[in-house]
Amino acid sequence: MVGPVSTEKYTKDSEHYLMQHHHISDETGFRLSFCELKVFGSGILMLYHMITGKELTINDLWQKNGIRETDIIEVKGQISSVIFEHQEQELPHNPYDQEVRELDSIRHGDVEMLNRSLAETYRGEVGQLAKNQVRQAKNIAICVIALASRAAISGGMIPEEAFSMVDGYIMKIEDMNNAVKIDSMMRQAEYEFAECVAEIHKNQQKNELVERTKNYIYQNLHSDIVIGEIGQKIGVNTSYLSDLFHKVEGTTIQQYIRKEKIRLAENMLRYSDYEVKEIASYLSFCSQSYFGNIFRQQTGMTPARYRKKYGKWKEQK
């Protein structure tokens, strides 16, 4: 037995339940340890290998400890039931070709095409993914936003940026309790993905090495990025990469890194409660004053003034 450990982040309620259920006194100072599920699984696999000398994959572990044969039988029964109901009611799902046009419009960055595809009328309806109306809307939104992000990546969007947008939108949707507003937020995500791709197509000629460089930069904005390390990471000569990046993007790698760091800083100043010095430290600027100088050069105002003008509290007034 390994534990006790929680693979869900700590909450007072979960800890209180555990202490009551196992009759643990407050005087013990008990605090439940947290470990991400993937990390916990890797630890179990290592322990299993040390004890038995045998190897298992993480998928083997979940298969042996997750679903049962009865679960699979129940799912197959549910699928049969859904098929029967749709045949009985003569009501098909929403047409696949409409979905293809919707995703193609995002892939091509074509906002007008997206408008037309969403305005199409057709016989059929989206599948039932939950019994509760709000949960149904959330589940549909999660599916649509995930598919939209993959279409945007296929259209040239940096994967890490697309994934981050997905996380942000879905976390926001999870906090919403109105099906109409959830649907509106879902469509907003689709339009934003299409607009991002349109901007990419307008401003640049795609190059695989440049895209890999930009993705690396995006993943490491919180670090002190060394240009030579980028070349090593993607397997090309640093001088060649610098020249190629400048030719395709019209700016140096160092200038691009600063621009992206400041762009992230703008978002943090708008939507987070982090202090300016914390943002400077998070983005690996050598000092708050240096961060302020670079920020002012790019935006025309100091970080404090930017937050005062655009911060989230302005929207709440």
Which pLDDT tens digit goes with each residue over 79-113?
Answer: 777 776 766 666 678 788 888 899 999 999 999 99
Q: State how far the Cα of 239 lies from the Cα of 215, in Å rounded to an integer.
A: 19
Q: How far is CA 304 from CA 285, 292, 307, 310, 316, in A?
A: 16, 9, 5, 10, 18
What pLDDT sits at residue 31?
67
Please tell me the predicted confidence (pLDDT) of residue 77: 79
Q: In the beta sheet, which residues pair with residue 33? A: 5
Buried b (16+ CB within 10 A) or exposed e, 242-257: bebbeebbeeebeebb
Q: Are 307 and 313 in contact (CB under 8 A)?
A: no
Measured distance CA(158)–CA(147) in Å, rounded: 15
Q: What pLDDT, on a 0 to 100 scale, did the predictor assign at position 316?
A: 46
Residue with token string 């990469």: 241
Which positions ≥6 away from 211 have C-beta within 8 Å?
Answer: 156, 158
d(CA 85, CA 227): 59
Residue 239 near residue 246 (C-beta atoms within 8 A): no
Exposed e or buried b per residue across 222-239, where buried means at least 16 C-beta atoms within 10 angstroms of its C-beta: eeebebeebbeeeeeeee
Q: What is d(CA 24, CA 13) in angstroms, rounded to the nearest whole number?
A: 14
Indicate the length of the chain as a whole number: 317
Tokens of 46: 């290592």
Angle 6-8-10 from CA coordinates, rounded to 5°: 80
Q: Spell out the residues 6+ positions from residue 139 whose beta carbon is closer than 8 angstroms to its own.
A: 129, 130
What does the CA dihedral 203, 187, 189, 207 come to, rounded to 10 degrees? -30
Whether the bond between 303 and the residue before it is cis, its omega within 30 degrees of 0, is: no
Q: Rounded to whole angstroms, how far apart are CA atoms 247 and 267?
A: 28
The segments of the chain whose pLDDT lies below 70 read 1-4, 9-15, 29-32, 84, 86-91, 203-206, 312-317
* Residue type, position 115, single letter: N
Question: What tokens does 92 get?
Answer: 């098909």
- Whole-prediction pTM: 0.59
Three-class SS of residue 216?
Answer: helix
Using an 8 Å Cβ cutoff, are 162 and 145 in contact? no
The answer to whether 213 touches 234, Cβ cutoff 8 Å, is yes
Closest to 262 measured CA to CA, from 238, 239, 293: 293
Calpha distance 4→49 (Å, rounded): 21
The vertex-135 CA angle with 37 and 80, nearest 5°, equals 85
